[in-house]
Structure 1
Amino acid sequence: MKRTAIVFVLLLIFYDISAAIREVKLRFIETSDIHGNYFPYNFIDQHEWGGSLARVCNFVQGEREIYGENLILIDNGDILQGQPSAYYYNYIDTASIHIAADMMNYMKYDIGNMGNHDVETGHTVYDRWIRQCNFPVLGANIIRTSDESTYLKPYHIIQRDGIKIAVLGMITPAIPAWLSENLWKGLRFEDMEATARKWIKIIREKESPDIIVGVFHSGKDASTMMDKYRENASAEVARNVSGFDFVLMGHDHRRACEKILNADGDSILIIDPASNGRLVACVDVVLTLDDKVVEKKNITGRLIDIDTYEPSKEFMQRFNTQYDIVKNFVSRKIGSFTETINTRPAYFGSSAFIDFIHTLQLQLTGAEISFAAPLSFDATIYKGDVKVSDMFNLYKYENMLYTMMLSGTEIKGYLEESYALWSNYMKSPSDHLLLLTKKEGDDGRCTFTNFSFNFDSASGIIYTVDVTKPAGEKVTILSMADRTPFEMNKMYKVALNSYRGNGGGELLTKGAGIPVEQLKDRIIASTDKDLRFYLMKYIEEKKVLSPQPMNHWMFVPIQWAVPAARRDSVCLFGEN
């Protein structure tokens, strides 16, 4: 009997210990920078393509069968802008539930976060989307100026399987550098690191969570814009502010998955699924608990290739009506072109593509000079019927059109800064004409060293760009387009988009030398609708157009520039 009792007692002790110690497995899935890619179809180029929420949905459905409620689905912003599917429900059908909210609710997202391109849609659009989401949209560093409260919920608590999870959301604070204030009226965007320090302290003291997750619509590698905004500060915050278990990144469209050390010497996972739903970030958290106390955490991350998944049949059936509506919208004919236009020539001289935009900007504003850049790296609008879909190739973003007052000196400085971003300092005829970086691999192809959407050219003035001169000394303005003199001390009316007018690309601040706080004072007019709207109306009114280059500028010396342009075109785009 004694021996039996001892065995029984030991079994009870073992049972108590094993019952007290348990393991919890959680899976976090992050999407980011979907940019309206809801369906596995490119409504701009009108063909099937990869990524999409439809494919993500298929992946998530399979994961939920394994993890159940222990799967947490998070979106990290920039979901409201990009494809015409977003544009249609932003500005055309404003009565229906927004397609992004409808889809995210269907997929049972747990949390959303604000992105800069979500803010770009304007209060009416993103406020409507936020109201219609069945989950919180976060933004700890978005402050309401009227009472200093947070405009959105700063963090959210999720309870799963006895585990308390705190998720802190933030956005890149550089919104004022890109977007006109009417889009974010009544708001302020605070520094991410200062905001993280404030809320980590509050979360720890008030919530005592088992896990703290950062969801930052901000890329990995920090830089300072306009001497005041820390853009892409995610890794910096994770490194400098102790307390995060892992950080979900976005905004910069660059895939990342690595561990870094924070100020306490702890290893922190940072992960970024790039854009368009081609990848998702997958973070596995395994916790060992002893009597409800977390004794051990194991956190691993990986990027999942969503292109290997078929679109969810249930998803496509559920949103088939919206798919058909958007497809019909983009297929509507608005006019015709007698010539094919492409962005490629815009990098080597005056081009029909960019000069078409210049022409409209000058006509709409009555300005004397226009600035514009190729917003898509390699876009084509073919001769023949022009449809609504072509407008998203012609003009990629929902920018307003500004008219600003700039002096001749400021205009030259602006252009010097622009051409310093994309033209090389040629020392010999065999050098590159443009600033290029070799792509990985052995095919000899290149890419631009800097972003091509900052490569502004001008119309309304005649000028040359000497590639044998260093940055800051390349541009020579010969005259106005009508051959009257161009004067350095004269003030001119200049047409440019709102992104540039607010300081985007720093051509006005670094180049023209205008302090960022003075940019507002230079704006004398702004459209109330985006440039794409006016381009569509212009084509509808003219019906048939023959876009031609105006030949207002060129690279010199010609004997160096022309053969170098041929070589660089092959390097960028392959054999023509």
Structure 2
Amino acid sequence: MKIRACIFVSMFLLSGTLSAQHEEVKLKIVQTSDIHGNYYPYDFILQKEAVGSLSRVHSFVQKERESYGDNLILLDNGDILQGQPTAYYYNYMDTASVHVTADMMNYMGYDAGNMGNHDVETGRAVFDRWTRDCHFPVLGANIVEVSTGKPHFKPYEVLERDGVKIVVLGMITPAVPAWLSENLWQGLRFDDMEETARKWVKTIREQEKPDLLIGMFHAGQNAVLMSGKYRENASVEVARNIPGFDIVLMGHDHARECKKIQNVAGDSVLVIDPANKGVVVSDIDVTLQMQDGKVVSKQIDGRLSAMDAYEPSAAFMKQFASQYDTIQQFVSKKIGRFTKTISTRPAYFGSSAFVDLIHTLQLQIGQAEISFVAPLSYDTEIKAGDVFVSDMFNLYKYENMLYTMWLSGKEIHDMLEMSYGLWTAQMKSPDDHLLLLREEPREGAEDRAMFRNFSYNFDSAAGIVYTVDVTKPVGEKVNIISMADGSPFDMGKRYKVALNSYRGNGGGELLTKGAGIPQDKLKERILYSTDKDLRFYLMQYIEQKGVIDPQALGQWKFIPEEWTVPASRRDYELLFGR
């Protein structure tokens, strides 16, 4: 495991020599982020040992507390409520018990949490219940009640250790409305991070006078303007433009980082991101020299520490053994049978049984003419034979609802153009790549080929017959031949289109940037929405059918095939091996 380390040293020495009242205070700050329901050392979806988990983090924290005691500060940076069956079960099925996520975090002694976009995606009933069950504050300075103009969550938390005052300011990416249906966050708004930080840092400085200021932001480091109005992934911008932060804890983008930057005042700020699933944690040592009760110097050392060196905590597993057994029973319920193995791997090279099963269901439930679906898991499969609840989390990763929207033929075409522009290269010779691949792996990723863009934005369509000419530039690749029933496809006609709520709210910008629909007009296009997530309907569909014979619909393909078929084999081996 590669461990990156960074050191930030900032010295502020007062005049005069250190007196007898000189004291050194050592703090340990540990950050988890984007745990995504990985609490136990077992992946209930993949049915195998989990590389990262809260149980391993607990072992690490307990060991460090032997040295630091209460001076260890444990923080979580959001997206903890969604991603594994354990979270799903306690979000939506057992709503009477103390939420297991809160129970676990209370047991581990978290000092503060922060809201993530996938926590918001669970809906207000779920996330408000979870935060009530937590014995520590869950932060969100820029999540504001529309009716009062005040933060729905506590904006910051003040912690005192050995005479040192630490303030943690929490914020979330403001792009939540670009992904999530408003019914999930009714009555709230998500303010710009930099504007919010400017306001609250001023308040914190004046009222709290902290010795150490930590920003905990559920946002990544590479800022982009999303849907023309939301400043997404602005953590580094805030660290640079708002003086006062000593440390900025990042999350959301699942990308490991540990480095120092210089803010506009010339001071250094440590920015650090442990990526996801608890595989590593942000591990920060802070040493403060005190004189007469005041901080006269600071040293901050940051690193990413790997959890695979720590065994799952036996005490943690004993404490939550009954919940573990409950989830094992839940995911082991048989719901049907597949006649053949399906995988996301073929979905990147043409029509596939995996994606087309979801297309078929979306067309049926949404009473739509056309469907859009992307493979939400990069590389997963469901084997032939009995199908269980656990398989449904492979088939459909997120708790998205289904929308039916009206789109014009041209908007459908333009949306596909953007999707395949993110997905495919422009082949200029038979030896070129078919797929648009990164030149180098992301930090912390395996040493293998990877897509340049996120595959959950690689939407294909069903209900229409079309080709994708990969020798053409972006904007000229897609040729829609007809509707699936052979009737003409009309660029000027309105069609009923089934897609998930993430896409329908502007996620991935395929509808806004691609189809050219303004963000604030998307809501007007919605004709129908399910009241439960798509996974629920997939389970229901399979249970009703009993036996599913998954088939590729064969409604689209890459051309020219004399180039794309050999290129598909080459790129497949680069991505997945032989």
Q: TM-score range by the shorter chain?
A: over 0.9
RMSD of Structure 2 on Structure 1 (CA): 1.2
**Structure 1 position 347 matched with structure 2 position 366:** no
* TM-score scaled by length of structure 1: 0.96
Matched residue, 1:43: 44
Contact between 1:373 and 1:452, CA under 8 Å: does it hold in 2? Answer: yes
Residue 397 of structure 2 is aligned to residue 396 of structure 1: yes
Q: Which runs of 4 or more aligned residues in structure 1 lie more than 6 Å from their structure 2 counterparts after TM superposition?
A: none
The aligned counterpart of 2:270 is 269
Mapped to 1, the partners of 2:459 and 2:18 lie a distance apart of 69
Match of 1:73 in 2: 74
Cα shift at 1:285: 1.1
Report the 3-state secondary structure (helix = DSSP H, G, I; strand = E; otherwise coil) of the residue aligned with 1:317.
Answer: helix
Q: Is the 8 A contact 1:445 1:574 kept in 2?
A: no
* Residue in 1 that maps onto 2:519: 516
Matches within 5 A, 1:87-98: 87-98=88-99
Please say if residues 77 and 114 of structure 1, whose CA atoms lie closer than 8 Å, have aligned partners that are also in contact: yes
TM-score, normalised on structure 2?
Answer: 0.95
Q: Which amino acid counterpart does residue 508 of structure 1 have in structure 2?
A: L
SS class of match (2:330): helix
Q: Is the 8 A contact 1:213 1:244 kept in 2?
A: yes
Retained in 1: the 8 A contact 2:31–2:282?
Answer: yes
Partner of 1:292: 293
Deviation string, structure 1 residues 389-412 (Cα, Å, up to 9, x no partner): 000000000000000000101110
> SS where residue 20 of structure 2 aligns?
helix
User: C-alpha separation between the residues in 1 aligned to 2:20 and 2:27?
Assistant: 20
Match of 1:204 in 2: 205
Quote how far apart the aligned CAs of 1:199 are.
0.3
Q: How does 1:511-550 map to 2 (within 5 A)?
A: 511-550=514-553
* Deviation for aligned residue 1:74: 0.4
Write the distance in 2 (CA, Å) between the matches of 1:102 and 1:293. 37
Partner of 1:477: 480
Q: CA deviation at 1:438?
A: 4.0
Q: Deviations over 1:68-102 (max 9, x none)?
A: 11111100000000011111111111111111000
Whether the 8 Å CA contact 1:438–1:444 is kept in 2: the answer is no
Q: Give the match for residue 8 of structure 1.
A: none
**CA pair 290-344 structure 1, distance change in 2 beyond 3 A:** same
**Residue equivalent to 1:382:** 383
- AA of the residue aligned to 2:489: F
Map 1:142-161 → 2, pairs under 5 A: 142-161=143-162
Report what 1:554 is aligned to.
Answer: 557
2:222–2:234 Cα contact (<8 Å) kept: yes
Q: Please tell me the residue identity of whatever aligns with 1:559.
A: E
Distance 1:354 1:440 in 2: 26
CA–CA distance in structure 1, aligned partners of residues 515 and 34 of structure 2: 32
Contact 1:222–1:232 under 8 Å retained in 2: yes
SS of residue matched to 1:19:
coil
Map residues 219-238 of structure 1 onto 2, 5 A cutoff. 219-238=220-239
Q: Equivalent residue for 1:573? A: 576
In 1, the alpha carbon distance for the partners of 2:441 and 2:412 equals: 37
Q: How far did 1:17 drift?
A: 6.4
Report if aligned partners of 2:144, 2:188 keep a CA contact under 8 Å in 1: yes
1:490 equivalent in structure 2 = 493
Counterparts of 2:523 and 2:95, CA distance in 1: 30
Provide the secondary structure at the position in 2 that maps to 1:436.
coil
CA shift, 1:340, in A, is 0.7
Residue 428 of structure 2: SS of its match in structure 1?
coil
Contact 2:221 2:250 in 1 (8 A): yes
Name the amino acid aligned to 1:19. A
Deviation at 1:439, TM superposition (A): 4.4
1:47 deviates by 1.1
Task: Name the structure, 1 or 2, with higher relative contact order (CA <8 Å, separation 6+).
Answer: 2
Aligned partners of 1:173 and 1:160: how far apart in 2? 32
- 1:301 maps to 302
Q: Distance in 2 between matches of 1:420 and 1:440?
A: 20
Secondary structure of 1:302's partner?
Answer: strand
Uncovered stretches (5+) of structure 2, i.e. residues with no partner: 1-16
Please give the alpha-carbon distance, in whole angstroms, between the structure 1 residues aligned to 2:63 and 2:567.
Answer: 52
Amino acid at match of 1:464: T
2:74 and 2:20 mapped to 1: Cα distance? 30
Counterparts of 1:17 and 1:259, CA distance in 2? 29
- Given that 2:239 and 2:245 are in contact with CA atoms closer than 8 Å, whether structure 1 keeps it comes out as yes
1:62 to 2:63 alignment: yes
Deviation digits for residues 175-219 of structure 1, max 9, x if unmatched? 001100001110000010110000000001111111111000111
Whether contact under 8 Å (2:19, 2:291) holds in the other structure is no
Look up the SS of the partner of 2:220 in the other structure: coil
Segments of structure 1 that go 5 or more residues without pairing to the other structure are: 1-15
What is the DSSP-based 3-state SS (H/G/I as helix, E as strand, rest coil) of the residue aligned with 1:566? helix
Cα distance, 1:558 vs structure 2: 1.1
Percent identity among equivalent residues?
Answer: 67
